[in-house]
Amino acid sequence: MDVAMSMMIDRMIINLGLFEARKPLQKTEVAPASISRILGKVFRALFLGSLVAVVAHASPPRSFPPRPDYYVLDEAKVLDGRATHAIESLLTEHDRLTNEQVMVAIFKNANNTSPQRHAPSQAPNPEKEWSHRLFSEWKIGKRHYNEGILFTIFLDSGHAFLEVGYGLESKFLETQASEILDQTAIKHLRHRDAKAAAIWGAYRILEVLTSPLIQNGKALEILRQDGIPTQFAALNQSTDEFYEHTALKSGAWLALFFLGISLLSFVFYQILSREAHFTPKGWSLDYPWSRRNCFHKQRPHNQSTYNQSSPIVEAIRVAEESSSGQIRVHLSKKWMDKAPLCRARQLFRQYKIAETPFRNSVLIYVNLRQRKFAILGDTGMSQAVGPQYWRKIELELTDNLRSTQNERAIALTVASVGQALKTYFPSKRYAQ
């Protein structure tokens, strides 16, 4: 081949005019070559170089994959060890009992497995052509009997084919082959389950061949021993229904997973969303699950749970001793909460802060995480001090929160409100 190719290239070179017949040397002046002649030679040289490179690098036709020893070829690497062993056991035992050879071959596509690179583009159905050639190459079936079947699967296209030897054409009809491909193999491939397509395609082939393994139930036993689920063994089992049911189960588990994550997030949020309520007796943590906000009922505080070590508690105690008014402070660390004024009104009703003789109660609500607050005074206090006073207190609390520690800043504001209560609503001791 190399000699013939060399002769062909030499002949082409001569025809292209790159080699000229040698002439005897003469002492004559050489005429200057024209530019067009030089460019023509350059182009011809480039064409020749390209042709030589193509011929030199052209790869030889690819050979067929070798015939497997145990009836299964998995070039696409979709079968695990158990699935491969299960199919091999089924087909090997069937061959031993009946002398009928059934082989399974799984490929990624026909382009990467074609014996000639131009075959896929020339053949009307390259996958079918590949299956037919592979069946002939492997010589499946005993000599002079030709009782063999090749079951091929192509992953990329989702197609499957059956090649049947003439020795089995009488018992393996074309309609039965089409039914196996359409009702079993193609349906599994449509759901991206090539392993199930290979296993149950081989199982259906043995059913059509009336294999002794099917009749005595040993086929299912072999599958179970290798851990293969046998839900598709019954002919009335709908493949689409199974995958739909599996998808529903997966969706249900996914929904439960997200629901669990949501519940955990909610519990975590509620734990971190603790609130503190301050009175003259002390302060206590107020968790969401220990409140009765939905019924607007007062939470029965246990005095033993109060903590009195706080400057806010001390400021409230001093303010209420010198006046007949009432001051309450409520601190929150919620990420998501109502508007401060709405939340303050809700707390006003929840803790019954408005139940004072002169309607001179004041609630200071501060959300430390959102850096927002609301100061809500009862009707008696608001009429006494006027709207300008509340604006002044808001600015004072804003400056205090920016300049000092939160608890200290709120205590200073409580002291300022206490001075106003002492001025307009003094206690009996200070009034005398």
CATH number at residue 334: 3.10.310.50
Q: Are residues 217 and 286 in the same domain?
A: no
Amino acid symbol at 200: W
Look-up of token digits 């006046």? 323
Strands 275-279 and 282-286, sheet pairing: antiparallel
Alpha-carbon separation of residue 321 from 41, 280, 363, 421, 430 (angstroms): 115, 9, 17, 10, 9
The residue range of the domain holding 259 is 241-270
User: Looking at the structure, do residues 81 and 219 belong to the same domain, yes or no?
Assistant: yes
Are 330 and 388 within one domain?
yes
Q: What is the pLDDT of residue 104?
A: 94
Answer yes or no: is 385 within a domain.
yes
CA–CA gap between residue 100 and residue 122 (Å, rounded): 33
295 located within any domain: yes
Residues 408 and 357 in one domain: yes
pLDDT number for residue 366: 93
Residue 47 covered by a domain: no
Q: Clarify whether residues 294 and 376 are in a common domain.
A: yes
Q: Tell me, yes or no, whether 39 lies in a domain.
A: no
How many domains are contained in the chain? 3
Do residues 417 and 390 both lie within one domain?
yes
Q: What is the 3-state secondary structure (H, E, C) of the chain?
A: CHHHHHHHHHHHHHHHCCCCCCCCCCCCCCCCCCHHHHHHHHHHHHHHHHHHHHHHHCCCCCCCCCCCCCCEEECCCCCCHHHHHHHHHHHHHHHHHHCCEEEEEEECCCCCCCCCCCHHHHCCCHHHHHHHHHHHHHCCCCCCCCCEEEEEEECCCCEEEEEECHHHCCCCCHHHHHHHHHHHHHHHHHCCCHHHHHHHHHHHHHHHCCCHHHHCCHHHHHHHHCCCCCCCCCCCCCHHHHHHHHHHHHHHHHHHHHHHHHHHHHHHHHHHCCEEEEECCEEEEECHHHCCHHHCCCCCCCHHHCECCCHHHHHHHHHHHCECCEEEEEEECCCCCCCHHHHHHHHHHHCCCCCCCCCCEEEEEEECCCCEEEEEECHHHHHHHCHHHHHHHHHHHHHHHHHCCHHHHHHHHHHHHHHHHHHHCECHHHHC
Show pLDDT as tens, one digit a residue, over the chain (432 residues). 444 455 454 554 444 444 444 444 344 444 444 666 666 666 666 766 665 554 444 444 446 788 888 899 999 999 999 999 999 999 999 999 998 999 999 998 876 544 443 344 445 688 888 888 999 899 888 767 788 999 999 998 889 999 999 889 888 898 999 999 988 888 888 888 889 899 999 999 999 999 999 999 899 999 999 888 876 665 445 555 555 555 566 777 788 888 888 888 877 776 666 788 888 888 877 655 454 433 333 344 443 344 567 899 999 999 999 999 999 999 988 877 788 999 999 999 988 888 888 899 999 999 988 889 999 999 999 999 999 999 999 999 999 999 989 999 999 999 999 999 999 999 876 555
The answer on 248 and 150 residing in a single domain is no
d(CA 80, CA 88): 12
Distance CA(384)–CA(323), nearest Å, equals 14
One domain, residues 109 and 172: yes
Q: What pLDDT, on the 0 to 100 scale, is given for residue 255?
A: 83
Q: Residue 354: is it exposed, middle or buried by C-beta count within 10 angstroms (0-12/13-18/19+)?
A: middle
The whole-angstrom separation of Cα 326 and Cα 354 is 9
232 and 83 within one domain: yes
Spatial distance between the Cα atoms of 140 and 134, rounded to a whole number of angstroms: 9
In a domain, 21, yes or no: no
CA distances from 53 to 46, 48, 355 (A): 11, 9, 101
Look at residue 396 and tell me if it is in a domain.
Answer: yes
- Final residue in a domain of this structure, among 181, 214, 237: 237
Burial class of 155 by CB neighbour count within 10 A (0 to 12, 13 to 18, 19+): middle
CA distance 93 to 90: 5
Query: Residue 218's pLDDT is what?
Result: 92
Indicate whether 426 and 311 sit together in one domain. Answer: yes
The last residue of a domain, from among 237, 254, 284:
237
**Residue 4 within any structural domain of the chain:** no
Residue 431: count of CB within 10 angstroms of its CB:
9
> Considering the domain boundaries, does residue 195 fall inside one?
yes
Residues 95 and 226 reside in one and the same domain: yes
Q: Do 128 and 201 have their domain in common?
A: yes
